Amino acid sequence: MTEINEDTVRAEARAWLEANWIADCGLVEWRLKLAESGWGVPHWPSRWYGRDLPVGLVPVVEEEFKRIGAIGVAKVGIRTLAAATILAHGTDLQKEKFLLRILTGEDIWCQLFSEPGSGSDVAGAVTRADFRGNQWVINGQKVWTTSAHKAHWGLLLARTDWDKPKHPGLSYFILDMKQPGVTVQPLRQMNGYASFNQVFFTDAKVEPEMLVSEVGNGWAVTTTTLMHERRGADALRSWAVASDKPGRIYDEERDEIRTTMEPYKWYPQRVGRIDLLLERARATGKSDDPVVRQEIAKVLSMSKAAEWTARRARTAQEQGRPQGPEGSLGKLASSLVARAAARVHTSLLGPDALLTGEDGPMNGLLAEILVSVPACSIAGGTDEIQRNIISERVLKMPRERTGDTDRPFKDVPRNTVG
C-alpha cells in the first residue's frame, strides 16, 4: 500500500494507461475497462468503479489521460448529475442498476424538475406522485427538459403529500422515460430552436424501489442535483470539445458529443459572443468609432473581470480555503455581460440587424445573438433569483417573507398551470 500523493498517483495512472489504452477499440468496451480499473472516476468509492482518491488529485489523473490522448468515461449531459445524485442518496440497488451504464454512456438521462407553474420556484412543483396499489403513479407536467425525447431515465421531483408544507411534501424518483404514460413534446423558443421538451405524465408508473432517499426528502436530493448542475455549468465549454484524432474510438466519441451537444448549439450566442466584438467592429469599419470603442471596452472589461473573479473562487476552492463572495456572482455577471454584448452587436449591425438567416451577416448568427441573449438572464435561475441568493446567502440579509412555506401546500395560492 504505497502512500497516496501527486507523484504516486501520476505514476500509477500513467502506467495503467500505457498498459491499457488503445484507440482501436469500442467506446463502451473501453469505458467498461475504465470502470473496472477505477481510473475513469478515481474520486468515486472503490466499491463503485472508483479508487477513493481525494478530489484534489483528480486533475493529475486527467492530465495523464490528456497526455496519452485517452478518452474518459461519459461525462456530457444530465447523466453526470444523475450519477452524483445516486452516489449521494441512492440505494445499492440503484447504484448497481445505473452507475455503470452512466459511465459507459449507454443510458441517456433527463431532469424533470421545472414546471410551467413554477419556473424560478422549483420547490413549488405540483406534479403528483400517488402510491396506488404497489407502485407510484405520476400525473402532471414538466418543462424545459433537455433531451427528454432521447432519455431512458428521468430524475423526477414530484409532490407526494399535499397536507405537508411546500418542501417536505416533495419526493424524488427515478422514472423510466420509455413507458406509455410519458409523452414528450418539443418546446419551441423565440430564437426558433426547440432545444427543450415538455413532458406530460398520465398515470406514468414508478416502482417503489425507484424512490430516491425517503418519501418527503425530495427537496434535499434535488438540491444535491442542482448544486452539481451549477458546478457543471462552468465546465460546459471545456467538455464540449471533441478530439480530432483519427481512430474508431474517437469517431464514436465524436458522435456521442455531437448528439449530446446538439441542443446546446445556440448557447454561445446566448452569452453574447463577445469573442466576435472586435472582429465585427473591424468588419463594419467601426473599430475607430470612439463611441463603439467605449462600449466594446465596457463589455470586454466586465467579462474579463468576471473571468478573474471566477478564478479567485476556484483558487480558493482548490486551496481548500473558505470561498469568498466571489463564488456566487458568476451567473449574474454573465447575464449582464451578455445583455451589454447584444447591445453592442446591434449597433455594429446597423441596418443589418433587420435581417436574419442567410440574408443576415454571418449567415444569421448575429441575429441569433439578439434573440437568444434574453434566455441568459432567465435560464438556471433568473437575475432576480441570483440577487436574492447573493443578498440572503452571501450578505446574510433577511430572507423575503413568503407565504408558502408555513402551511399545507394545498392551501398555498398557485398558478392554474400555464
Partner 1 sequence: MKFSFSSEQEEFRSNLRRLLADRSSTKEVRRLMETDQGYERDGWAAINTALGLTAIRIPEAYGGYGLSLGDQCIVFEEMGRALLCAPYFATAVLAAGAIMNAGTEAEQQALLPGIAAGETTATLAWVEDNGRWEADGTMLTATAEGGGFVLNGHKTYVVDGHTADLIVVLARAQQGLSLFTVDGKAGGLTRRALKSMDPTRKFARLDFGGVKAQPLGAAGAAAAPFARTIIEAVVCLANEMVGGADRLREDALAYAMMRMQFGKAIASFQSMKHKQADMLLEVELAKSAAYYAAAALDEGDDDALAAAHLAKALASDAYTQTAIHAVQIHGGIGFTWDNDTHLWFKRAKSSEVLLGDAGYHRELMLQNWAA
Residues within window 292-321 making contact with a second copy, judged by CB under 8 A? 294
Q: Is the dihedral of CA 288, 293, 294, 295 positive or negative?
A: positive
CA angle 67, 68, 72 (to 5 degrees): 95
Q: Is 193 helix (H, G, I), strand (E, B) or coil?
A: coil
Give yes or no for residue 223 binding a second copy (CB under 8 A). no
Nearer to partner 1, 51 or 166 (CB): 166
Task: Give the largest Cα separation in the chain, rounded.
Answer: 73
Of residues 20 and 388, the one with the C-beta less far from partner 1? 388
State which amino acid sits at residue 210.
M
Stretch that binds a second copy, among 21-29, 174-182, 284-292, 335-343 (CB under 8 A): 284-292
**Contacts of a second copy in 24-43 (CB under 8 A):** none
Closer to partner 1 by Cβ: residue 188 or 248: 188
64/363 Cα distance (integer angstroms): 40
Q: Residue-wise over 297-319: b if at least 16 C-beta within 10 A, else e?
A: eebbebbeebeebbeebeeeeee
Pick the stretch among 117-125, 264-272, 289-297, 408-416 that binds a second copy (CB under 8 A): 289-297
Pick left, alpha or beta for residue 32 (phi over 0 → left; psi -120 to 50 → alpha; otherwise beta). Answer: alpha
Region from 44-52, 152-160, 273-281, 288-296 binding a second copy, contact rule CB under 8 A: 288-296
Tell me the per-residue interface mask from 381 to 410 with a second copy, x by CB under 8 A, - otherwise: --------------------x---------
Nearer residue to partner 1 within complex by CB, 179 or 402: 402
State which residue, 116 or 181, has the beta carbon closest to partner 1. 116
Provide, rounded to whole angstroms, the least separation between the CB of residue 51 and partner 1. 29
The one segment of 89-97, 274-282, 283-291, 322-330 that binds a second copy by CB under 8 A = 283-291
Least distance from a second copy to the Cβ atom of residue 286, Å: 11
Distances (CA, A) of 140 to 47, 127, 182, 414: 37, 4, 10, 15
Is 291 a binding residue for a second copy by CB under 8 A? The answer is: yes
User: Closest approach of Cβ 302 to a second copy, in Å?
Assistant: 18
Q: Which residues pair with 109 in a beta bridge?
A: 153
68-97: contacts with a second copy (CB under 8 A): none
- Give the shortest CB-373-to-a second copy separation in angstroms: 22
Q: Which of 62, 130, 229, 289 binds a second copy (CB under 8 A)?
A: 289
**Within 10 Å of residue 344's Cβ, how many Cβ atoms?**
24
C-beta closer to partner 1: residue 259 or 284: 284
Question: Among residues 217, 138, 225, which one has the least CA distance to residue 175?
Answer: 138
The entry of partner 1, a second copy, none near residue 415 (CB within 5 to 8 angstroms by kind) is partner 1
Shortest CA distance to 226 belongs to which of 78, 397, 58?
Answer: 78
Instruction: Note whether 87 and 95 are within 8 A (CB).
Output: yes
- CA terminus-to-terminus distance, the chain: 60
Which uninterrupted H or E stretch holds 206?
strand 196-206
Residue 321: partners with Cβ closer than 8 Å, 6 or more residues away: none
Alpha carbon distance 43, 56 (integer Å): 9
CB of 134 to partner 1, least distance (A): 34
Span near a second copy by CB under 8 A; candidates 86-94, 98-106, 190-198, 287-295: 287-295
Which of a second copy, partner 1, none sits in contact with 120, Cβ below 5 to 8 A by type? Answer: partner 1
Q: Report the residue number, 137 or 302, with the smaller CB distance to partner 1.
A: 302
- Identify which of residues 215 and 355 has a Cβ nearer to partner 1 in the complex: 355
Q: Which residues bind a second copy (CB under 8 A)?
A: 289-291, 294, 401
